[in-house]
Structure 1
Amino acid sequence: MTGSSRLRDEPHIGKYRLMKTIGKGNFAKVKLAKHIPTDREVAIKIIDKTQLNSTSLQKLFREVRIMKVLDHPNIVKLYEVIETEKTLFLVMEYASGGEVFDYLVAHGRMKEKEARAKFRQIVSAVEYCHQKNIVHRDLKAENLLLDADLNIKIADFGFSNEFTTGNKLDTFCGSPPYAAPELFQGKKYDGPEVDVWSLGVILYTLVSGSLPFDGQNLKELRERVLRGKYRIPFYMSTDCESLLKKFLILNPLKRASLEAIMKDKWMGMGFDDELKPYIEVKKDLNDPIRIEKLVQMGYSRKDIEESLGQNKFNEIMATYLLLAKKNVDVSFGLYVFYSYVRHIFVFTFVCMFMFACLCIFMCMFVCRYLQMPFFTSLCLFVVR
């Protein structure tokens, strides 16, 4: 069987070649896939719509709607949405470093310096969501992914929702060990405060490698969360402990805002600048180089303009966005290549200069020793 026929026989969705399964749920699975036109790896969440009732379908389409408006370096990006009668495919950024949970299992707790770098990224991304009136509601180590450079990528917005001032939410969401006490009590909540509590649990987990609240069963866990008591490890700094106490407060009204958290002493240690709310950079959807590449691939300029102008999250937009990632890699590769050539050139020039200096020195020596003119001795040296 030839390589091309083997590729044709492999499972495909649109322009993507499906590879291994990297995640599984009740009605969905996540596959690693390769975008054939750009050769980029992506993650595709495959949801069986036939298994969902109308409420679950509404929740699913809300997740898609929310992911479409999020554009932050520490949030998994949505590239394309493919829908058939029975299935929904969400093509997303692939975070090759895996889950923070697995990272902690493999490496143990983080030193505070490493935890701080990761936590700043997490807080920045969650605060950005809150800016957009979006609450995640399922923040936990399993939903924090790492890219190839170990940068944080927040994933799984399945429980996320929009919130507005004065309109309370009432759904118990997320993983119980990360859930705020008011959720266990069945109280209504505004939104951001439940994420703030979960962030406190995450900070504790990063620094200690364990959960602040745990139990043999849900009843025991609930009791511990409602007491709000947790053990402070002996190795945790007083500054980190002080920050934790701003998150893990039983009264949601007294929990710190993320803007205040950003200004905390522990958050800024080792960094020149205070962490500030993320200012969204407008997507560059008018890059002539990438547009020309799309034309070369066979897409019409009209379709390209329409897809990018209307943020359609279709095949064209996905290819455009993935070309940007590829260009970064290519540019970096060219930079490395030219740097290498430049260093070789400089080294060669220095060697030639030193050799020329040596020749002149030898000629001067011969000139003095044989008492002949300098030019004559130089000619004799070169001929030899």
Structure 2
Amino acid sequence: MSTRTPLPTVNERDTEQHASVEDGRGEVLSRSVRSARGKNSSTGDDSPHVGNYRLLKTIGKGNFAKVKLARHIPTGREVAIKIIDKTQLNPTSLQKLFREVRIMKILNHPNIVKLFEVIETDKTLYLVMEYASGGEVFDYLVAHGRMKEKEARAKFRQIVSAVQYCHQKHIVHRDLKAENLLLDADMNIKIADFGFSNEFTLGGKLDTFCGSPPYAAPELFQGKKYDGPEVDVWSLGVILYTLVSG
């Protein structure tokens, strides 16, 4: 049996290809600094490359970022690469981005999208993540209608397991919704998009209004400080209703 080269993880370090920056809280993020330009001379392939990844098609797009399906050249494994134009972000947005990266590095749960690697150039940040080929739960519900009770129970159990894990790590998601729940090839849940996530302390309060109104807890609309985990729990209730009602 041949040996497959594993995907690099965010914990691996290459002293010649890493730089450190502060994330706005004085904490240091170690990130890969690699060429992200055009042709890869090692493969002779003219298709666009980022590090050891061959870029394929665009699978998502926003104002300052897009998501590309890519293939890890040594293993052939498909990944999703979020490509962020740093030049379009102000210092506050950059700080939030670095916080998201730091939080994703902490998380390791079977029902949370994994961050494999972070690649950076002067103008662009590339987040190499696990690819969930089944797409969004929202789109699944649009296409197939509401889930049967047994299916909804299984999916909700995975969602709750992942959220409980986050809370045990003192991390609150704050934007749980059907659009941020992905499905892998085996129809397992993968929670994604930690752009609004933050760390919390027991007994401490958060005060930033964020998330999506249909899934947001009432206290978020009152302009008062709130308990982070509780707003996630409210969103879980809305998600369960959405799964069984469509």
Fold match (TM-score > 0.5): yes
What is residue 30 of structure 2 aligned with on the other side? none
What is residue 67 of structure 2 aligned with on the other side? 30
| 1:157 matches 2:205 | no
How far off is 1:5 after superposition? 11
SS in 2 for 1:71: coil
Alpha-carbon deviations, 1:197-226, whole Å to 9, x = none? 0000000000000xxxxxxxxxxxxxxxxx
- Quote the Cα distance in structure 1 between the aligned partners of 2:116 and 2:179: 22
- Quote the Cα distance in structure 2 between the aligned partners of 1:22 and 1:170: 33
Q: Which has the higher helix share?
A: 1
How far off is 1:153 after superposition? 0.3
- Quote the Cα distance in structure 2 between the aligned partners of 1:5 and 1:170: 50
SS in 1 for 2:151: helix
Q: Looking at both structures, which has the greater relative contact order when contacts are Cα pairs under 8 Å and sequence separation is at least 6?
A: 2
- Quote the Cα distance in structure 2 between the aligned partners of 1:59 and 1:127: 23
- Quote the Cα distance in structure 2 between the aligned partners of 1:196 and 1:65: 23
How far off is 1:108 after superposition? 0.3
| 1:142 matches 2:193 | no
SS in 1 for 2:83: strand
SS in 2 for 1:165: coil
Tell me which of 98, 106, 131 is aligned to 1:61.
98
Query: Cα 1:7–1:95, aligned 2, differ >3 Å: closer, same or farther?
Result: farther
- Quote the Cα distance in structure 2 between the aligned partners of 1:54 and 1:28: 16
Letter in 1 for 2:115: L
Taking the TM superposition and a 5 Å limit, the aligned residue runs for 1:224-239 are none
What is residue 246 of structure 1 aligned with on the other side? none
- Quote the Cα distance in structure 2 between the aligned partners of 1:28 and 1:172: 22
**Length-normalised TM-score, structure 1:** 0.53
- Quote the Cα distance in structure 1 between the aligned partners of 2:203 and 2:174: 18
Letter in 1 for 2:101: V
SS in 2 for 1:79: strand
What is residue 351 of structure 1 aligned with on the other side? none
Tell me which of 58, 77, 86 is aligned to 1:49.
86
SS in 2 for 1:81: strand
How far off is 1:96 after superposition? 0.5
How far off is 1:26 after superposition? 1.3
- Quote the Cα distance in structure 2 between the aligned partners of 1:130 and 1:7: 46
How far off is 1:186 after superposition? 1.1
| 1:39 matches 2:76 | yes
How far off is 1:24 after superposition? 1.1
Letter in 1 for 2:59: I
- Unpaired runs of 5+ residues, structure 2, are 1-40
| 1:17 matches 2:54 | yes
Q: Identity over aligned residues, as a percent?
A: 90
- Quote the Cα distance in structure 2 between the aligned partners of 1:82 and 1:98: 24
Letter in 2 for 1:189: Y
SS in 1 for 2:167: helix
Alpha-carbon deviations, 1:223-253, whole Å to 9, x = none? xxxxxxxxxxxxxxxxxxxxxxxxxxxxxxx
- Unpaired runs of 5+ residues, structure 1, are 210-384
What is residue 165 of structure 2 aligned with on the other side? 128
What is residue 116 of structure 2 aligned with on the other side? 79
Letter in 2 for 1:77: K
Query: Cα 1:7–1:139, aligned 2, differ >3 Å: closer, same or farther?
Result: farther
SS in 2 for 1:187: coil
Greater C-alpha Rg: 1
What is residue 125 of structure 2 aligned with on the other side? 88
What is residue 138 of structure 2 aligned with on the other side? 101
| 1:190 matches 2:227 | yes
Q: How many residues align?
A: 206
SS in 1 for 2:113: coil
* CA RMSD in angstroms, aligned pairs only: 1.4
- Quote the Cα distance in structure 2 between the aligned partners of 1:194 and 1:7: 51
SS in 2 for 1:174: coil
Tell me which of 197, 205, 208 is aligned to 1:171.
208
Q: Which has the higher strand share?
A: 2
What is residue 203 of structure 1 aligned with on the other side? 240
How far off is 1:172 after superposition? 0.9
Letter in 1 for 2:213: P
- Quote the Cα distance in structure 1 between the aligned partners of 2:208 and 2:63: 20
How far off is 1:7 after superposition? 6.2
How far off is 1:166 after superposition? 3.3
- Quote the Cα distance in structure 2 between the aligned partners of 1:117 and 1:194: 22
SS in 2 for 1:8: coil
- Quote the Cα distance in structure 2 between the aligned partners of 1:107 and 1:46: 31
